[in-house]
Structure 1
Amino acid sequence: MILNCIAVDDEPLALGLVCAFIEKTPFLRLVGRYASAVEALQALHQEQVDLIFLDIQMPDLTGIELARVLDNAAEKSPRIIFTTAFNHFALEGFRVDALDYLLKPFNYEEFLRAATKGKAYFELVHRAAPAAADPKEEYLFLKVEYQLVRVAFADILYIEGLKDYVKVHLKSDQKPVLSLTSLKALEEKLPTTHFMRVHRSFIVNLDKIAAVTRNSIQIDHSTIPVSDQYKETFNEYLSRWM
């Protein structure tokens, strides 16, 4: 598998080094080099890019800001490996779902380790893609830290949306799975025959409902609120069984 890459850095020497490392790596293809995130954003509308080696501290638009723009713009946005001289951006890098974080100055061995992680990610996505496209499949893949974790639909009790991620509560595990994605994005991947949004912060597995009150749902040992916004749709579902 060959990954199309771009490098973005406002420091010419750092940009040249990353480009040289990309060209040295057999499974990477350099398709663009840019001195600003604004230039890169414009180019991404024209180029098919898998992986971005992205500096953080840049004028006009920072690497973190570009990552947020890309995350909101499309479901299949390029994955990012940050390259920065500042280690205090690591948490922000995690929040925008970066694949890895290279602290300058880094050598080729460190670069190759991060690039190999990117290659492993895309190979896993490629293997999972045919299954995900089949509506008969009974599972999905969740991005958990720097890996994809397979979760069966039947194992999901309910999903709770938080600020930067979702908590997927499972029947098989008392500890929920944390995935850095939005509740809306996850809702689009779930079969509507078995899952329903009942609150701004909750999606429930309809098959796991144990009891229903006027404003809430009981699933396992948890009580899930049903908000006014979703109550009519949920009541329509209930009326089919009453």
Structure 2
Amino acid sequence: MAIKTAILDDEPLAVELLAAYVNKTEQLQLVDASTDVFKILKLVQEHGVELLLLDIQMPELTGLQFMKIIGNSCKVIITTAYTAYALDGYEFNVVDYLLKPISYERFTKAINKLADTKKLPVTEPVVRPDHIFVKSDYKLIRINLSEILYIESLRDYIGIYTDTARQKIMSLDSLKNMETILPPSDFVRVHKSYIVSLQKINFVEKNRVVISGAHIPIGDSYQAGFFSRINNAAGS
């Protein structure tokens, strides 16, 4: 099965060249190629990428900062014109390090190295996420999961309410996407417009949840699933 591959580089010509390399490499499947850091970050967070070709020197977010955010979500091949980044890059256990300009021959060597690593039986520990990053006002904001009270859908945006911020954090995103990112053991959808933290519920009153003074409705189609979760938690 082809490896789902994404490309992130702030140079359009570099993106175009790498996309051409990926498209003519049988082992790879190109899912996206972009200069948009936040677009590719969202794609990686949604688990739609197995391999990322990542430039190091970018204006909005450096490649090293990007790797710190995504952790071990996918394999990374670094692409850069700066040899000074080589040592730092290898500290992240990336597959390979490609110095620009990149020839197709050198590119295929990196892919073969990736294929060799995939053959090795590796057991990786399951890492329980304790935070997420969301884009808000052209910034990436880190939010600890333990601080989230609930999330509200506001048309094309979501509002994230926490017990530390005075105002809700607005982000151009959807509840559907948040459901794929948040751990289901701690968060549950209670309404078409709301996701709540199970740990932050003060009490349930009739068909609504009360969290820090906020009264959140429980939708008819979500009641069975929600009350099942509540009963299981009460019995454990």
Change in 2 beyond 3 A, CA 1:194/1:46? closer
Matched, 1:117 2:117: no
Please report the TM-score for the alignment, with normalisation by the length of structure 1: 0.55
1:131 deviation in Å? 6.1
Partner of 2:195: 203
Q: Which SS does the other structure have where 1:188 is aligned? A: helix
Tell me the secondary structure at the aligned position of residue 17 of structure 2.
strand
What is the correspondence of 1:55-66 to structure 2 with a 5 Å cutoff? none
Residue 49 (structure 1) aligns with: 33
1:15 maps to which residue? none
CA-CA distance at 1:143 after TM superposition: 1.3
1:194 is aligned to 186
17, 39, 45: which one aligns with 1:31? 17
- The 3 A distance-change label for structure 1 pair 121 and 180 is farther
Match runs of 1:10-159 below 5 Å: 28-31=14-17, 46=30, 49-51=33-35, 75=46, 116-118=58-60, 120=61, 123-130=64-71, 135-159=127-151
Structure 1: how far apart are the matches of 2:214 and 2:73? 29
Q: How much has 1:186 moved relative to structure 2?
A: 1.0
Aligned counterpart in structure 1 of residue 158 of structure 2, from 142, 161, 166: 166
Task: Specify which of 231, 235, 238 is matched with residue 223 of structure 2.
Answer: 231
Structure 2 CA distance, aligned partners of 1:177 and 1:203? 14
Aligned to 2:109: none
Unmatched tracts of structure 2, length 5 or more: 1-6, 20-28, 49-56, 75-125
CA distance in 1, matches of 2:70, 2:136: 17
Per-residue deviation, 1:238: 2.1
* Aligned partner (choices 159, 173, 183) of residue 181 of structure 1: 173
- In structure 1, the gaps of 5 or more residues are 8-21, 23-27, 34-44, 53-66, 78-114
Contact 1:156 1:170 in 2 (8 A): yes
Residues of 2 paired with 1:198 and 1:158: CA distance? 10
Q: Does the CA-based 8 Å contact 1:210-1:218 persist in structure 2?
A: yes
Q: SS of 1:31's equivalent?
A: helix
Q: What are the Cα deviations for residues 132-153 of structure 1, in whole angstroms up to 9, with x where unaligned?
A: 6863221111111222111000
Cα root mean square deviation, aligned? 3.4
TM-score normalized by the length of structure 2: 0.56
Change (3 A) 1:212 1:131: farther
Contact 2:46 2:181 in 1 (8 A): no
Aligned mates of 1:216, 1:121 — CA distance in 2: 44
Percent identity of equivalent pairs: 27
Amino acid at match of 1:183: L
CA distance 1:144–1:220, change in 2 (3 Å): same
Report if the CA contact (8 A) 2:207-2:217 is conserved.
Answer: yes
Contact 1:5–1:30, Cα closer than 8 Å, also in 2:
no
Assess, with a 3 A threshold, how the Cα gap between structure 1 residues 231 and 31 changes in structure 2: closer, same or farther: same
Which amino acid in 2 is paired with 1:205?
S
